[in-house]
């Protein structure tokens, strides 16, 4: 601006000084200054915030105060491109309307530079550089509003500051974003768990309604990713509401938010730049508060063997199934196994954790958030699981963005950190910088992920540019045995690189990995945290190819939605010299193929891809004699111990034949193998223990015993134990490894007939088949757990599910029918059922509604002369979810 101004010809000289003062005052408002605050007077003004020395195509934010009505707007530009058109700012509290009739008061600009380290994410060591301008405005009746605007090379953010002590009640924000009407958009409808697909639209053409963060908009070659940062219990989260006019209003989760002042609201955030900027940005974390943990040495991200998609709840209640996934993790060098919903109805968790820790694997435990929603529950549960040796928790079903829920997040994160427990949030809000503030948060779900079973390739390829761009995402890839396959095997493998998550919960079965040895080999090598991230190519909903560096190795991952073709991968991110590149891709026979290439940074890798396909790879320095980038992995043998039969019946003085078989399936050999059978006191077993000095992979050791039941034994159930002991030569410090399998022998009471031993005339069950001598499981026969009511385990009985019915023929031969009935413990306090007993079509008994918290209900009735007995289970009037009903110890006496 010129230092002086010419007077208009013929104008009086006395007007020069006021005009000059007005001009200088306007300049003070319009120019960004450093150091002392600039004072502003008057109702209007326009201010630009940008990085010092920013290039012409740099990011700028423009704040304007309309002199006519005192309203504020913010505009975001990238160079000459307006990415976000002027959209309103302001906030309304119960005490003041700070969205209009504002007057500028002061302005202060400073440079913000922060260096920090993360335990998770796309880049572990970070430097945040932002220009911050703090504005103050005065509203009606002297109410004060602070507006803080930050501009970084990768975006714009703003928040409100309400100064002064006392309680502040926010009724709404006037905040909004306005992309240009024709801007392309990738949006997901809002839901409390963020589990909806992204779909393309335009900014103005998107249907009216609520949309979740992050929302992606494209203007020319520039993108804006809208989200928020620094949300905790002082406030609540928000969503975007499109009224159909192209403006996206910020709508709070609660009707009002109450907090103690001074209050700083969350950052309304726009990551701005090309797609590489969007996917590589750390702006959301840069805006978040620093870590609250001084010591993060105990925090260890890593790969996880997760059994949910290979057996669901039944697998979580089965100790053998969970030991199998621990063994899977140990066989591939993965540090964790996750036990999901169902384990809390069992009593073997300390045993599993001890088993896993002996094999170098830590156990993560699923828990419903309501199990930890009070201080008393946390004070009891968290120390308990820590004493067991659990490494962390998967906490599920929060399903709310309310201020109350964020206060709970504050509490649970403080308490889990105190007990040094890692956290994975499912059914959760979006990451909003929480992983910087609480570094033990390894990942969050908040995605329409692999658990849905049918994620289309176009939806999957939108996620790197949207949901995963703002923080770790627990998509749970590799579930080959589940759902409908929508991408190729190589594309699924690529997700281990394309999707960032501090804990990668790999959802495949043991068989799925065995059928794909190249995939399993790559998963042994790929890390879950990164020193550097590069987007190499791609478009939202179409494709994404990433290079991520961990130490001195680069890992590649590419996935696309569409026809087969060739992916051209530029390697100019590499340093000088020669490199070895190993690529795993889809072969023509449907299997996975590994190829090796010697390359330099000037080369381009041409990778053939299948329909909805992809590839994964790793690149390392080429040194003399090196033919692979693989690093050594410590593996334990993947073994399988079986005991046959698992259940048997024998009369006093009788015998049972038992066979044990111990096999080494992968990662052998096992050495110093010994197979034995333990029997109860007074019982005898004919047969010697079996040994082998070494068992290579693919070989097995078997033992046979004849077990004799004492003649004077009491009726009931007795446990025999087949035990295998062995060593792992690749991990000598692990000592002797043990695995056991029970054989349950039931000695019946003389003269008693158990209903589970009778043929059914007819049967009907609400879920899966009726189970004999076990609880109702999933859809397959004999997949239930032990019949358990109020902590008591029963050897005999029927496992059913409402609505169900069993008919057996008695022929008038029995006098009494007795049983203990109720909701099986495996569903906890859930489930409501009623039981009916009919004899020859006549109702003999109807219980009231029983739930999972009730004790077992005793049934004892006269069935003299009854020819046909009907056992019926009804739902409790609230649907059939979790209605697992047991007819425990159901017996007939003559």
Which tokens in the block code for residue 568? 């051209």
How far apart are alpha carbons 59 and 77 in whole angstroms? Answer: 6
Residue for token digits 């009593």?
347
Report long-range pairs for 143-147 (Cβ below 8 Å, ≥24 apart).
143/95, 143/96, 143/98, 144/105, 145/90, 145/91, 145/98, 145/102, 147/63, 147/72, 147/89
Residue for token digits 């990768």?
154
DSSP string, 656-676: EEEEEEEEEEES--EEEEEEE
Q: Which of 294, 483, 234, 501 is nearest to 394 (CA)?
A: 501
Residue 416 CB contacts under 8 Å (≥ 6 apart), including other chains: 382, 392, 393, 422, 423, 440
Q: Which of 535, 529, 582 is nearest to 559 (CA)?
A: 535
How far apart are alpha carbons 255 and 314 in whole angstroms? Answer: 41
DSSP string, 747-793: EPPTT-EEGGGSPPSEEE-SSSPPEESS---SSSTT----EEETTEE
Which tokens in the block code for residue 726? 């062995």
499 phi and psi angles, rounded to 5 deg: -95, 130
Local structure of 707: helix, strand or coil: strand
How far is it between the farthest Cα atoms of the chain?
Answer: 129
Residue 245 CB contacts under 8 Å (≥ 6 apart), including other chains: 204
For the chain, first and last CA: distance in Å? 109
Helical spans, DSSP H, in 361-514? 375-388, 403-418, 434-437, 457-460, 489-498, 510-514
Q: Is 451 a catalytic residue?
A: yes
Residue for token digits 């289970």?
873
Taking each continuous run of H as one helix and of E as one strand, the counts in the chain are 13, 61
Upstream peptide bond of 262 is cis (omega within 30 degrees of 0): yes
Phi-psi map region of 834: left, alpha, beta (phi>0 left; psi -120 to 50 alpha): beta
Q: Are 187 and 214 in contact (CB under 8 A)?
A: no
DSSP string, 272-336: EESHHHHHH--HHHHTSPPPS-S--TT---EEEEE-GGGTHHHHHT-HHHHHHHHHHHHHHT--E
- Give the bridge partners for 804, in sequence order: 873
The active-site residue, picked from 85, 451, 500, 518, is 451
Q: Are 766 and 737 in contact (CB under 8 A)?
A: no
Q: Is 749 a catalytic residue?
A: no
Which tokens in the block code for residue 581? 């590149």
Which tokens in the block code for residue 329? 């993790």
C-alpha of 36 from chain center: 46
Local structure of 200: helix, strand or coil: strand
Rg of the chain taking only CA atoms, in angstroms:
33
Mode of pairing for the β-strands spanning 638-644 and 684-686: unpaired
Residue 384 CB contacts under 8 Å (≥ 6 apart), including other chains: none
The active-site residue, picked from 85, 396, 401, 875, is 396
Tell me which DSSP letter residue 473 carries: B
Tell me which DSSP letter residue 396 carries: E
- Catalytic residue IDs: 396, 451
């Amino acid at each position: 601006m010129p230092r002086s101004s010419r007077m208009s010809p013929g104008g009086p000289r006395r007007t020069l000084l006021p005009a000059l003062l007005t001009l200088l005052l306007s300049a003070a408002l319009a120019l960004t200054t450093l150091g002392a605050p600039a004072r502003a007077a008057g109702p209007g003004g326009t201010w630009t915030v940008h990085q010092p020395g920013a290039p012409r195509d740099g990011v700028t934010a423009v704040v304007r105060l309309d002199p006519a009505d005192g309203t504020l707007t913010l505009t975001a530009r990238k160079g000459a491109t307006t990415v976000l058109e002027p959209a309103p700012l302001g906030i309304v509290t119960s005490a003041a309307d700070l969205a209009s009739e504002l007057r500028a008061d002061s302005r202060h600009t400073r440079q913000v530079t922060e260096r920090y380290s993360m335990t998770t994410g796309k880049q572990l060591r970070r430097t945040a550089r932002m220009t911050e301008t703090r504005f103050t405005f005065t509203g009606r009746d002297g109410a004060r509003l602070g507006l803080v605007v930050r501009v970084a090379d990768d975006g714009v953010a703003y928040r409100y500051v309400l100064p002064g002590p006392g309680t502040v009640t926010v009724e709404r924000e006037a905040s909004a974003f306005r992309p240009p009407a024709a801007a392309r958009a990738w949006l997901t409808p809002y839901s409390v768990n963020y589990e909806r697909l992204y779909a393309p639209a335009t900014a103005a053409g998107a249907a009216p309604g609520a949309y979740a963060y992050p929302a992606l908009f494209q203007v020319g070659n520039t993108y804006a990713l809208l989200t928020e940062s620094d949300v905790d219990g002082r406030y609540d989260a928000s969503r975007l509401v499109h009224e159909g006019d192209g403006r996206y209003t910020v709508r709070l989760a609660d009707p009002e938010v109450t907090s103690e002042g001074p209050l700083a609201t969350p950052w309304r955030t726009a990551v701005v730049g090309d797609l590489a900027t969007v996917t590589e940005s750390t702006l959301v974390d840069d805006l978040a508060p620093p870590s609250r943990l001084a010591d993060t040495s105990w925090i260890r991200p890593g790969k996880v063997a997760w059994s949910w998609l290979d057996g669901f709840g039944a697998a979580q209640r089965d100790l053998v199934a969970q030991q199998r996934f621990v063994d899977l993790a140990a066989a591939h060098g993965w540090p964790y196994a996750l036990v999901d919903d169902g384990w809390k109805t069992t009593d073997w968790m300390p045993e599993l954790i001890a088993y896993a820790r002996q094999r170098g694997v830590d156990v993560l435990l699923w828990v419903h958030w309501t199990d930890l929603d009070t201080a008393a529950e946390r004070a009891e549960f968290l120390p308990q699981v820590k004493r067991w040796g659990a490494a962390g928790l998967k906490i599920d079903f929060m399903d709310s963005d309310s201020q109350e829920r964020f206060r709970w997040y504050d509490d649970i994160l403080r308490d889990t950190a105190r007990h040094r427990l890692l956290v994975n949030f499912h059914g959760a809000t979006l990451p909003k910088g929480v992983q910087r503030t609480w570094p033990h948060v390894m990942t969050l779900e908040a995605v329409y992920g692999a658990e849905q079973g049918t994620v289309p390739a176009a939806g999957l390829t939108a996620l790197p540019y949207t949901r995963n761009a703002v923080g770790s995402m627990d998509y749970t890839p590799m579930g080959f045995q589940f759902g409908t396959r929508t991408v190729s095997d190589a594309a699924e493998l690529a997700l281990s690189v394309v999707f960032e998550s501090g804990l990668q919960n790999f959802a495949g079965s043991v068989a799925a990995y065995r059928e794909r040895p190249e995939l399993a080999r790559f998963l042994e090598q790929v890390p879950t945290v990164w020193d550097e991230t590069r987007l190499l190519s791609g478009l939202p909903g179409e494709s994404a190819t990433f290079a991520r560096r961990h130490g001195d190795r680069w890992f590649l991952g590419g996935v696309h939605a569409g026809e087969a073709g060739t992916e051209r991968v530029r390697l100019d991110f590499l340093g000088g010299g020669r490199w070895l590149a190993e690529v795993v891709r889809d072969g023509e026979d449907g299997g996975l193929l590994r190829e090796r290439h010697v390359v330099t940074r000037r080369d381009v890798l041409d990778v053939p891809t299948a329909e909805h396909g992809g590839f994964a790879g790793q690149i390392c320095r080429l040194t003399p004699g090196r033919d692979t980038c693989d690093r050594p992995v410590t593996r334990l043998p993947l073994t399988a111990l079986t005991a046959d039969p698992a259940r048997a019946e024998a009369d006093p003085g009788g015998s049972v034949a038992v066979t044990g078989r111990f096999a080494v399936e992968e990662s052998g050999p096992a050495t110093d193998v010994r197979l034995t059978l333990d029997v109860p006191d007074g019982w005898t077993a004919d047969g010697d223990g079996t040994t082998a000095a070494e068992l290579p992979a693919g070989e097995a050791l078997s033992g046979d015993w004849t077990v004799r039941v004492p003649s004077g034994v009491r009726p009931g159930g007795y446990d025999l134990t087949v035990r295998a002991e062995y060593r792992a030569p690749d991990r000598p410090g692990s000592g002797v490894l043990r695995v056991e399998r029970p054989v349950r022998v039931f000695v019946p009471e003389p003269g008693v007939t158990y209903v589970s031993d009778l043929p059914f005339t007819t049967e009907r069950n609400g879920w899966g088949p009726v189970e004999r001598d076990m609880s109702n499981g999933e859809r397959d026969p004999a997949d239930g757990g032990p019949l358990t009511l109020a902590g008591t385990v029963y050897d005999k009985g029927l496992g059913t599910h409402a609505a169900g019915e069993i008919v057996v023929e008695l022929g008038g031969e029995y006098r009494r029918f007795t049983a203990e009935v109720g909701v099986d413990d495996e569903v906890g306090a859930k489930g409501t059922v009623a039981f009916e007993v009919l004899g020859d079509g006549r109702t003999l008994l109807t219980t009231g509604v029983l739930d999972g918290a009730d004790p077992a209900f005793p049934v004892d009735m006269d069935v003299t002369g009854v020819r046909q007995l009907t056992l019926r289970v009804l739902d409790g009037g609230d649907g059939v979810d979790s209605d697992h009903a047991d007819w425990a110890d159901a017996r007939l006496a003559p």
